[in-house]
Structure 1
Amino acid sequence: MAKLIYVTNTSLDGYIEDERGAFDWLPPDDEVFAFTTNLLRSVGTFLYGRRLYESMAVWETDTALAAQSELMADFASAWKAANKVVYSTTLAAVSTADTRIERQFDPAAIRRLKATASSDLTVGGANLATQAFQAGLIDECQLFVWPVVVGGGKPGLPTGMRTDLELLDERRFPNGVLHLRYRPLGR
């Protein structure tokens, strides 16, 4: 059975966006970028909320991105290779191949997808990830913790619920970023 993995970047104080909705505090870093690309390469399906999908779609729709460097081309290739499911009540159409829209998050459908998938799935977007956590669907949580305190904004992890985690792996990057890999206990 495939795993559902929540992957996100957070500030040291746990936010994925600051109070203005910006995440420009994530400075580019080739080593972190290559590591992220390798992680995504093993994924068969990305589950996205609308906002994250619209941010990520440029990896397919803007060919100039991939032309900037070999690292960028590699990431674009890994991103385009996966299927995408976008959860949105407002998105009228998708702009990328191998992408479908779902109007509501259905835990039973995700369980079926995990049971039949040949590769792992990732969930992206804090709101969508919260629904997956609440439904007990998250098999792994991978956080890239950046060395910055933004003081508020959108939390990267669910609030109002407790989830105990077991640390499976950690990696420290020279720029101060930590990659932390957890498994929810009881999974």
Structure 2
Amino acid sequence: MAKLIYVTNISLDGYIEDERGVFAWLPPDDEVFAFTTDLVRSVGTFLYGRRLYESMAVWETNTGLAAQSELMADFASAWKAANKVVYSTTLAAASTADTRLERQFDPAAIRQLKATASSDLTVGGANLATQAFKAGLVDECQLLIWPVVVGGGRPGLPTDMRADLELLDERRFRNGVLHLRYRTLGQ
């Protein structure tokens, strides 16, 4: 059975964006970017909320990004290779290939997808991830913690529930970013 993994960039104080909706602390160096590409390469399906999907779709819709460097081309190729499921009540149509649009999050459908998938799935977007956590679907949580305190904004983890975690792995990068990989307990 495939795992559902929540992967996100987060500030040291726990936010995925500041109070203005900005995540300007995120431009990765080559080491972090290559690591992130390796994470993406292992994913068979991305589950996205609309906002995150629209920001990630540029890896397919803006061919100039991949032309900027070999690292960016590698990431674009890995991203395009995966299936995408976008959860949105407002998006009229998907702008990328291999993308299915869903109007509501259905935990039973995700359980079925996990049971039949040959590769792991990731969930992206804090609101969607919270729904997946609450439904007991998240098997792993992988955080890229950036060395910045933003003081408020959109929390990267659920704020109205408890989730017990077991640390599986950690990695420090030269630029101060820390990757933590946790298994969820009691799922």
Aligned equivalents of 1:26, 1:171: Cα separation in 2? 17
Aligned equivalents of 2:69, 2:27: Cα separation in 1? 17
Provide the residue aligned with 1:2 in structure 2. 2
Aligned equivalents of 2:101, 2:163: Cα separation in 1? 29
Aligned equivalents of 2:107, 2:88: Cα separation in 1? 15
Code of the aligned partner of 1:44? G
**Mapping of residues 124-143 of structure 1, within 5 Å:** 124-143=124-143
Aligned equivalents of 1:46, 1:162: Cα separation in 2? 24
Provide the residue aligned with 2:55 in structure 1. 55
Provide the residue aligned with 2:90 in structure 1. 90
Code of the aligned partner of 2:143? L
Code of the aligned partner of 1:16? I
- Gaps of at least 5 residues in structure 2 are none
SS at match of 2:112: helix
Code of the aligned partner of 1:125? G
CA shift digits 1:62-107 (9 cap, x unpaired): 0000000000000000000000000000000011000010000000
- Gaps of at least 5 residues in structure 1 are none
SS at match of 1:80: helix
Provide the residue aligned with 1:104 in structure 2. 104
CA shift digits 1:43-75 (9 cap, x unpaired): 000000000000000000000000000000000
Aligned equivalents of 2:167, 2:130: Cα separation in 1? 19
Aligned equivalents of 1:112, 1:27: Cα separation in 2? 35
Aligned equivalents of 1:26, 1:142: Cα separation in 2? 16
**Mapping of residues 1-187 of structure 1, within 5 Å:** 1-187=1-187
Code of the aligned partner of 2:22? A
* Runs of at least 4 residues off by over 2 Å: none
SS at match of 1:100: strand
Aligned equivalents of 1:25, 1:122: Cα separation in 2? 22
SS at match of 1:182: strand
Aligned equivalents of 1:114, 1:120: Cα separation in 2? 8
Aligned equivalents of 1:60, 1:66: Cα separation in 2? 9
Q: TM-score, normalised by structure 2?
A: 0.99
CA shift digits 1:115-157 (9 cap, x unpaired): 0000000000000000000000000000000000000000000
Aligned equivalents of 1:29, 1:143: Cα separation in 2? 16
**What is the RMSD computed on CA atoms of the aligned residues?**
0.5
Q: TM-score, normalised by structure 1?
A: 0.99
Aligned equivalents of 1:67, 1:98: Cα separation in 2? 22
Aligned equivalents of 2:139, 2:25: Cα separation in 1? 28
Identity within the alignment, %? 89
Aligned equivalents of 2:18, 2:63: Cα separation in 1? 29
Code of the aligned partner of 1:183? R
Aligned equivalents of 2:159, 2:166: Cα separation in 1? 18
